[in-house]
Amino acid sequence: MANNKMLVGFFVASESIFFVMLILAYVNFHNSVTDGPTAFNSLDPVRTGIFSLFLLASSFSMWLAGRSLATKNHLMLKIWILVTIVLGAIFIYGQASEWFGLIDQNITISRNVFGTTFFTLTGFHGFHVIVGLIMLSILLGLALFGDFKGPKSDGVECVSIYWHFVDGVWIVVYSVIYLWAFL
């Protein structure tokens, strides 16, 4: 394993611990809210599920970008990175609009334990998506300037690992916050 990929693996492992702790905090306090906003009476899992599909599709487009690099199809590499950015941005738009809608209903991070754990967990994830979008934008810029010549690139592979991690974490976060509330 290349040093760069190993370091990204260590970084992903350390970030996984943060996410596990935040998820455990959410799970621990899930039933402690007796009045006020909760996931069940405040969230729309269908709407968020639709925006989640964009994030999951971005993992596929990122995989296609890697395949395009492997076949030295530089045009498709650029296109698939751009598609990944657009899909990730649509997801962030969905999350931001949900947050603003909740804030308009006076559901904030300081309202109750649900607000605190919800905004902390989804905000931490959203921050990671935005960091990933920045990294993808840098990759796209490098690709546009012709930096990726061969069938492999540690940069593309490392950003891909990070992006798939962010998508995988969202599956868990969505399941715990949005689906568990309705079981």
> Is the pLDDT assigned to residue 150 strictly greater than 90?
no
Q: Which domains does the chain have, with CATH numbers?
A: 63-183 (1.20.120.80)
Average per-residue pLDDT for the chain: 93
Side-chain-side CA neighbours of residue 6 (13 Å): 3
Token code pair at residue 78: 């650029």
Angstrom distance (rounded) from CA 182 to CA 45: 9
- Residue 1: its pLDDT value, please? 58
pLDDT band at 142 (very low <50, low <70, confident <90, very high): very high
Q: Is the dihedral of CA 84, 90, 95, 96 positive or negative?
A: positive
Of 101, 64, 98, nearest to 81 by C-alpha is: 64
The confidence score (pLDDT) of residue 36 equals 87
Say which amino acid occupies 98.
E
Residues 6+ apart with CB under 8 A from 143: 74, 77, 78, 81
| pLDDT score, position 158 | 94
| pTM over the 0.85 mark | yes
Q: What is the share, in percent, of the chain residues with pLDDT greater than 90?
A: 81
